[in-house]
A and B are shown apart, each in its own frame.
Chain A
């Protein structure tokens, strides 16, 4: 689809965006209204129109802190003639609010869907900001169960990492529309397809594809710059990425990293990372090595190629070992 959609990238890189929406000023009064005590909440949701009617926000490649208010993952929205679909909402009520304000600035169409690409807190904790719009909250059929098992921890960890002020208002919103097979949503002269995936990054990954431009929000199936985080299945993830190659999206919004990338540049680094991790771990298992040995050595050649490597890599090795030793 629309192989000639190269312009968005040029637009991204070379000049100020046509409809870049910066909310620093506009959001301040709203924040003040909601949290008179919070004081230093300067909204700063910044979206870029990466393709016709598709906006994406770039989250910091960082761990969640008071300063970034959980704004550590990419999210965005798709505008049709009749409705808007929001895809992911960031890591706090405030990131959600900032994104909601960006939608309002870009269009007056109602927000009909808030879609979560998977369970992770940096993607879902802004959902509550959209409750006033009364949208359908859309997720993989396994999202509710996954959130059910984790929400208390997610909320507690977010509160601890960000502090009360940045955390205020944050809550988990359970999905109201659960997707177990490819499902089309009509935004008005614009159809998007929701594609639930088998266990990969997590057991509830959902891809959002825009038919019109061929743009796909891949959530954390694609990490760029930010080292991948394995919370599902390394075998499953590898297969899902390979399959995508056969039906490559024209433009990809990764869960972390740049707001827009092209295939296969988007997938090559993460495929290399997962491949190296799996082959190193398998080799250690094969010669009777221990999980400790794997944690210390597997995938170390990827160090220096990613941000936050020390924060996630060894955990990934632990998960990969625990999975692959059953092969």
Chain B
């Protein structure tokens, strides 16, 4: 099963299913739901990670910040902080929204330019129904460290894209890279920057009633960020990332060169940009 992407048929089926069971599911007994949730998580974790491998929940190796109640299910801000003593040992970070049709939101693989200081990744995600949101870090000792937050939100995946459709389509592929470099940055191990890509990130679950058809899934599936020639991270993403994918991240202040970003969507279109930051 490919969890990042999603076939259209699956999307349609799931969407219809969500509508049908949306109400009745919450009416079921708590115990039964807890059991089902446990089963769901087991099947997801066995698909995404090595089956049966233990995962440390409530780990103190990372902090996951997510709103308990999301204001806009299509744009739910989340962030992950990894303390400086753990950061150099983190190889991979996986974000999961358990009940989304495509549960894996994104997987980040870190490179040397991710730096030695405290590591932060923030992004915006879609949440389709009340769900656990999980962040799982894979350390260089092979262990899996997890933090979980419950988020109340509904309809994020099928929410219509884009408030101003014409503006959005006219600007598709536009990239903006912001540096939050401050004066004191030279004394710090890491600095912060943000990459933004204009893209509808069509989930495949957004229907056009005029045609009766679902808009085919089309989303940013890969973003690579480098400092100079050195990798900060590369990210594989799916439909659970919000439209206009937006990632705020830390990078090593010690590596020279500009920040450069290459993004690719499921049509194979690539978008790129770079920015010179101070001190490099």
Contact = CB atoms under 8 A, between A and B. Distances in A.
Given A153-B159, A318-B72, A295 B77 contact: yes
A290 B211 contact: no
Interface string B96-130: 00000000000000000000000000101000000
B208 A290 contact: no
Interface residues of B, number: 38
Contacts of A318: 71-72, 75, 77
Interface stretch (A27-35, A127-135, A144-152): A144-152
Interface in B179-226: 180, 182, 192, 196, 198, 206-211
Given A148-B211, A288-B192, A290-B122, A153 B160 contact: yes
Given A288-B192, A290-B122, A290-B248, A233 B164 contact: yes
A322 B244 contact: yes
Contacts of B198: 326
A317 B158 CA distance: 21
Nearest to B23: A160
Interface in A283-305: 288, 290-292, 295
A198 to B, nearest CB: 9
A315 interface: yes
Contacts of A82: none
Contacts of A142: 165-166
Interface string B66-83: 010001100101010000
Interface in A159-192: 160, 172, 174
A177 B160 CA distance: 24
Given A233-B164, A233-B167, A290-B248, 8 more contacts: A149-B206, A150-B160, A151-B209, A160-B22, A172-B209, A203-B165, A291-B77, A315-B71
10 shortest interchain CB distances as A-B pairs:
A148-B210, A149-B160, A288-B180, A314-B71, A315-B71, A199-B164, A148-B209, A151-B209, A203-B164, A318-B72
